[in-house]
Amino acid sequence: MSSTITVSVAPRVFRAGALEIADTNPALPADESWRLIRDNYPHLQSALLSQPTLENGVMVVDIECPPVKTNG
């Protein structure tokens, strides 16, 4: 009796609120892939990545934006 194991890679997306950005380099670790993508999103330059979670077969990495600083 033989058994077959099938392994599939879940697609990865970066999510900032309602904005979902597909990972263009899924072979790279999430932080390295985000460094390549974030140049296209200037408002997310200083954002931090959370730990990935699996949602409906998709690996989701939430992007956490730091609070806005004001002087005064």
- Mean pLDDT, residues 2-17 taken together: 88
Question: Which residues does 37 contact at the CB level (< 8 Å), separation at least 6?
Answer: 14, 21, 23, 24, 25
Distance CA 24, CA 44 (A): 17
- The pLDDT assigned to 1 comes to 65
Residue whose tokens read 């390549």: 36
- The pLDDT assigned to 46 comes to 87
Q: Is the pLDDT of residue 72 over 90?
A: no
- Condensed to tens digits (0 to 9), the pLDDT of residues 17-43 reads 899 999 988 889 999 999 999 899 998
Question: Which residues does 42 contact at the CB level (< 8 Å), separation at least 6?
Answer: none
The tokens for 1 are 């009796």
- Condensed to tens digits (0 to 9), the pLDDT of residues 42-57 reads 989 889 999 999 999 9
Tell me the backbone φ, ψ of residue 20, rounded to 5 degrees: -115, 125
